[in-house]
Amino acid sequence: MSLIKLTIKGISYSQTQTGAYALVLSEEDGGRTLPIIIGAFEAQSIAIALEKEIRPPRPLTHDLFKTFSDRFSIAIKEVIIHKLVDGVFFSSLVCEKEGVEEIIDTRTSDAIAIAVRFEAPIFTYENILEKAGVFLKTEDTLGLNDPSETNEMSLDTKNLLGVDKDSSYSKLSISDLNEELDKAVSDENYELAAKIRDEMSKRS
């Protein structure tokens, strides 16, 4: 059975499960989306990996996995979402070391968080997309108001990190904002860091 490549379209707060998030994967050569419910920690880990400007002062669990793999020359070739049972997705990490390939069972949320860090492709099978894939307008899926914003991944992760549109940092200089950003990241206050980064982005 042929594999279908997926891309990360966004993350939004789950309307069905309290404290959970919906990771939305999109068919690369089609119009179907695959929403997957994930936990808050994994959602934040994926969002931080996508936001290149935010660097945690200490490594998150998935960052540690990346460092460990790099140190021992283990490459992550791809992630495959291979099974769906009772609403639960099952995934595999396809790894390679010295030409030897290994397949490791993993939670889908962890697999995606790792794939982002390795820039590894994400795949699934047609039968899974047929069963769980949906045709939705991206703005409806992500809860965005402006359809023109749907291609901006940073906007999706802003929603996750709690960024509002009215920044209290509008009166600070770029230099001051850089200092505040460094302090927020050092304090591991990623919500605040995202808000400051948003203000800086508006001025560039």
- Over residues 118-169, the pLDDT tens digits come to 999 999 999 999 888 887 554 444 443 333 333 333 334 444 444 443 446 6
The answer to whether residues 55 and 120 belong to one domain is yes
CA distance 138 to 34: 11
Token pair listed for 81: 């979402």
pLDDT value of residue 186: 75
The answer to whether residues 33 and 116 belong to one domain is yes
The answer to whether residues 40 and 92 belong to one domain is yes
Flag whether 147 is in a domain.
no
* Neighbour tally for 191: CB within 10 Å: 14
CA distance 165 to 152: 15
Read off the CATH number of the domain in which 115 is found. Answer: 3.10.690.10
pTM, two decimals, is: 0.68
pLDDT, tens digit (0-9, with 9 covering 90-100), for 176-191: 888 888 787 777 676 6
Residue 116: pLDDT over 70: yes
Which domain covers residue 193, as residue numbers?
Answer: 165-203
pLDDT value of residue 197: 74
Res. 12 pLDDT band, cuts 50 70 90: confident
Q: In total, how many domains does the chain have? A: 2
The answer to whether residues 31 and 82 belong to one domain is yes
